[in-house]
Chains A and B, each alone.
Chain A
């Protein structure tokens, strides 16, 4: 999707590194995601894809660099001498506009599908129940699960759970949606229904950053592929170029 060059990027990762005491996840990673673009984050297991996504909404702290979402510096305040970590309340406010979908769905097990989708608007945004219910039903309809509104996660298939999880993230009307291997825990047929849901979002112009091993997503849904390896970006290309003529050996 083409975007005006002067537009603020949806996500801007600038020279970001993440390391723990002994392990380094990635070093000096930089890229911009323009609004409306769908980026597939590829790479072997352990390449740092999940960690990078978790840094974007500050579920993980970063060791160096800066991350911006729609121009907001995530997780820190720029001081004279350093970046100072924000308070829990301030970071929570930033996260409201950053949706996240997990490999293992992570639905709230004590809530029905509907309550899961309503949880953000009701508890985070303090929206009235009636309004949140209407929005949640629309979203469940959109992911094809209106009939399952009153089902608990334990009564849903993996694919259904993942679609509820996507609806839950969408209920916050996120500026960007981070998806960490959304289909990896699913059988092929179930994965397909989740891919279709993601494709629909892509067509609506939802900005997405998707860590995945699913070539269907990377080739057919994503506009662009970022290939990570050994804690660095090995290749950053348009999706069709990446699949017709990969430059890095490993991407092959």
Chain B
């Protein structure tokens, strides 16, 4: 019978269903992309000669390095601020919770650009001069007008760190809460102090959990460093703007800046990928 024939047939090959729909969609998407790129090239939006002239321009490279430094430093400071704010938020102490929640609300709820310009302008007005004096000494140790201390770099770093710290605190808080209460109870029952529970059990796991989100924030920060151009910090966008305002090669210089932002993003992505490999999720 047919049935027994089929059963006795040796090793029949297995044919899986083709995803024709997906292939068709892919082809359509490719056509659209090629059309747009072709139109852009034909219109000569970017003069590749000018682009090549400026891509390794020392000023541009310095701007890129400054942007990378600003973004990276801000990420570190934001992580520390965010960690403290997150601990306050989960502490259960109503005063600390309120302070932390207010901080997050204010700094996440206002545009970063406003915050940057604010720090650049407001701090010297709030504290016209900074004086560090030791007790029992007539003359202050240090006394300088604040304007000479609040450079564009410091104002940008403070602004980005504080704003980003608010986002990081929420990310870190979610990471801490993702470590289940049971593990904390087990560590406590072993005789660990609350500090040890945090150091040995919560932070190692929360740290791993937040890597993808933190990587995302790092990329955002690297790009947000361009906001510092508004207060005169010589980062990538500011340098590019300064150059095109004298030679009018606007699109080329924006393309040069975009290229370097893409390089930075690739760098951040690489770090994230390596961290995820080195610390696999258990």
Interface residues of A (CB under 8 A from B): 54, 57, 59, 88-89, 92-93, 95-96, 98-100, 102, 104, 106-110, 119-120, 123-124, 152-154, 165, 168-169, 172
Contacts and interface: CB of A to CB of B under 8 A. Distances in A.
Nearest to A171: B190
Given A110-B204, A152-B282, A102 B190 contact: no
A99 B193 CA distance: 15
25 contacts: A59-B189, A88-B194, A89-B193, A92-B188, A93-B191, A95-B189, A95-B190, A96-B191, A102-B182, A104-B182, A106-B182, A107-B183, A108-B200, A108-B205, A109-B205, A110-B204, A119-B200, A123-B192, A123-B196, A123-B200, A124-B196, A154-B282, A165-B186, A168-B186, A172-B190
Contacts of A168: 186, 190
A110 B196 CA distance: 15
Given A109-B282, A119-B200, A123-B196, A59 B185 contact: yes
A110 B200 CA distance: 10
Given A110-B208, A119-B200, A153-B282, A92 B186 contact: no
A89 B188 CA distance: 11
Interface range for B: 20 to 34
Contacts of B183: 106-109
Contacts, number: 72
A92 B193 contact: yes
B182 to A, nearest CB: 4
A37 B185 CA distance: 25
A98 B14 CA distance: 59
Interface string B171-204: 0000000001011011111111110100011001
A67 B192 CA distance: 20
B282 A92 contact: no
A95 B188 contact: yes
A92 B192 CA distance: 6
A1 B221 CA distance: 66
Contacts of A100: 185-186, 189
A124 B188 contact: no
Indicate the member of B183, B187, B188, B189 with the most A CB atoms within 10 Å. Answer: B189
Interface string B149-187: 000000000000000000000000000000010110111
Given A93-B191, A107-B186, 15 more contacts: A59-B188, A92-B193, A96-B190, A96-B191, A99-B189, A102-B186, A106-B180, A108-B183, A123-B190, A123-B196, A124-B190, A124-B192, A168-B186, A169-B189, A169-B190
Contacts of A165: 186
A239 to B, nearest CB: 26
Nearest to B179: A109
B113 to A, nearest CB: 39
A165 B186 CA distance: 9
A106 B189 CA distance: 11
A98 B189 contact: yes
